[in-house]
Chains A and B, each alone.
Chain A
Amino acid sequence: MLPYFVGNVVMIGIGCVLIYLAIKKKYEPLLLLPIGFGAILVNIPFSNLTESGSILRVIYDLGIANELFPILIFIGIGAMIDFSPLFERPWVMLFSVPAHLGIFVSLILALFIGFDPFEASSIGIIGAMDGPTAIMITSRFAPDLLGSITVCAYSYIAIIPIVQIPLSKLLTTRKERLVRMEYKARAYPKSVRILFPLVVTLITGIIAPAGVPLMGSLMLGNFLKESGVADRLSKSAENEISNVSTLLLGIAIGGTMVADQFLTIETLLIFALGIVAFVSGLAFGIIFAKIACHLTKRKINPLIGATAVSAFPMAARTAHMIGRQEDPDNWLLMHAMAANTGGQIASVVAGGIILTFAPLLA
């Protein structure tokens, strides 16, 4: 372990790097900016911001310890999502199963390395590529790892194109990347759009009851929006509630990045396992879509296999961009968006499954 002041200086440096990435590279600025600033604040010597009654501790207890902030953010995300592309082709949701296998690959590796089952589950969920889900599970299962896992998850989500582009090109042939998919835009009846969030909450709640807060909040946001009669609530969820929660969540996460807890071998291992989770998840998604491409006689472009994750909408845009590099007239965006919104649901389902089954098996 590093001496007290050296550790603090290193952590202030890490905080500055996060701020640099947020401002200069535009990597998840809404989160990395407050996280970086929180990391600087908490590592100023003798600031004592993590002690009981101090401001960062109060914010942490207010919304992270009791899982309130991830829930509020999910209500906001739900209000922002449009599931229409998914209604057009709901079967793309099946790509989410292989695309989330990265969770289990890194979970098993973490167990091998020596993390306990709850820590391994929290590390594995990085592979869901879903920040609020990772925060919720880690704050319940391994609160000591919250800073490392959150920073790892958001950093990797921010750089997803850097991983997705070479991996997609490596695992697909040019001929496969040129596959065009038919798209028909339809306006779905309001009844479908209103019933969908309710039905999804019920189904996933029955299969993984511990995930109800996650899925329930995501679908509540969408329900408010689609009902068409609660515009004020829907807009508040999408803007004010989501923004305030994101700001406070970021500062509180940054506040957990205390030098003696963050500068450890465990953090390095978490970052290594996180990249394994990301790469393996994307690779499984592409390979599954590749198999589907051949089984359907080239009706599915394998690039959309990498979009069946929660990194919304960056994964979809990246797949669309790779497709257009090969053929400027190939429009994969709506198909990729469908898989990406399906991935959003699937990541919450995966989180709910881990929350439900991990305590029963450990």
Chain B
Amino acid sequence: MALEFGLVLTGLGILAMFSALMFIIITCEVLKRIFREKEVETIRAEGSVEDPPLERKGESTRA
């Protein structure tokens, strides 16, 4: 009876732990994908307003 308790708890424990961690990993990846893109867009939007008009990307200011 006691051993049965140990084995069942071990099986359930491993299964539940694996499931919980897998869900967390997947959620983490999903959150990263969703919010990274939005963050990039926000930065670009802010950047386009604040960029000085004479300094464009790829152009040297020395010229």
Whether the pair B5, A117 counts as a contact (CB closer than 8 A) is: yes
Q: A98-135: which residues lie under 8 A (CB-CB) from chain B?
A: 100-101, 103-104, 107-108, 111-112, 116-117, 120-121
- Of A136-144, A314-322, A329-337, A350-358, which binds chain B? A350-358
Whether the pair A207, B19 counts as a contact (CB closer than 8 A) is: yes
Across-interface contacts of A342 in B (CB, < 8 A) = 21
Q: Nearest residue in A to B33 (C-beta to C-beta)?
A: A192
Across-interface contacts of A262 in B (CB, < 8 A) = none
Contact (A349, B20) CB under 8 Å given A192-B31, A192-B35: yes
Q: How far is the CA of A121 from the CA of B12 in the complex (A)?
A: 13
A310 contacts partner chain B, Cβ-Cβ < 8 Å: no
Q: Secondary structure at chain A's binding surface: helix, strand, loop or mixed?
A: helix
Q: A227-252: which residues lie under 8 A (CB-CB) from chain B?
A: none
Contact (A117, B2) CB under 8 Å given A189-B39, A207-B16, A354-B13: yes
The 9 A-B residue pairs with the shortest CB-CB distance in the complex, in nearest-first order: A104-B10, A90-B28, A108-B6, A189-B39, A189-B35, A191-B35, A111-B2, A90-B25, A203-B23
Instruction: Report the interface size class on chain B.
Output: 20 to 34
Which residues of A are at the interface with B, using a C-beta cutoff of 8 A? 86-87, 90-91, 93-94, 96-97, 100-101, 103-104, 107-108, 111-112, 116-117, 120-121, 188-189, 191-192, 195-196, 199-200, 203-204, 207-208, 342, 345-346, 349-350, 353-354, 357-358, 361-362
Q: Nearest residue in A to B14 (C-beta to C-beta)?
A: A97
B56 contacts partner chain A, Cβ-Cβ < 8 Å: no
Question: Would you give the shortest CB distance from B44 to chain A, in whole angstroms?
Answer: 14
Contact (A104, B9) CB under 8 Å given A111-B2, A346-B21, A353-B16: yes
Whether the pair B25, A91 counts as a contact (CB closer than 8 A) is: yes
Q: Nearest residue in A to B10 (C-beta to C-beta)?
A: A104
Whether the pair A203, B27 counts as a contact (CB closer than 8 A) is: yes
Across-interface contacts of A117 in B (CB, < 8 A) = 2, 5-6
Whether the pair A346, B17 counts as a contact (CB closer than 8 A) is: yes
Question: Would you give the shortest CB distance from A247 to chain B, in whole angstroms?
Answer: 32
Q: How far is the CA of A349 from the CA of B12 in the complex (A)?
A: 12
Cβ-defined partner of A97 (8 Å) among B9, B18, B36: B18
Please list 24 pairs of residues, one from A and one from B, whose beta carbons are closer than 8 Å in the complex, sorted by A's number.
A87-B32, A90-B25, A90-B29, A94-B22, A104-B13, A104-B14, A107-B9, A116-B2, A189-B35, A189-B36, A191-B35, A196-B31, A199-B24, A199-B31, A203-B20, A203-B23, A204-B24, A345-B24, A346-B17, A346-B21, A349-B16, A350-B13, A357-B13, A358-B9
Q: How far is the CA of A350 from the CA of B14 in the complex (A)?
A: 9
Whether the pair A200, B24 counts as a contact (CB closer than 8 A) is: yes
Question: Would you give the shortest CB distance from B34 to chain A, in whole angstroms?
Answer: 8
Question: Would you give the shortest CB distance from B16 to chain A, in whole angstroms?
Answer: 5
Question: Would you give the shortest CB distance from A223 to chain B, in whole angstroms?
Answer: 14
Q: How far is the CA of A93 from the CA of B28 in the complex (A)?
A: 11
Whether the pair A96, B7 counts as a contact (CB closer than 8 A) is: no
Question: Would you give the shortest CB distance from A338 to chain B, in whole angstroms?
Answer: 11
Whether the pair A93, B25 counts as a contact (CB closer than 8 A) is: yes
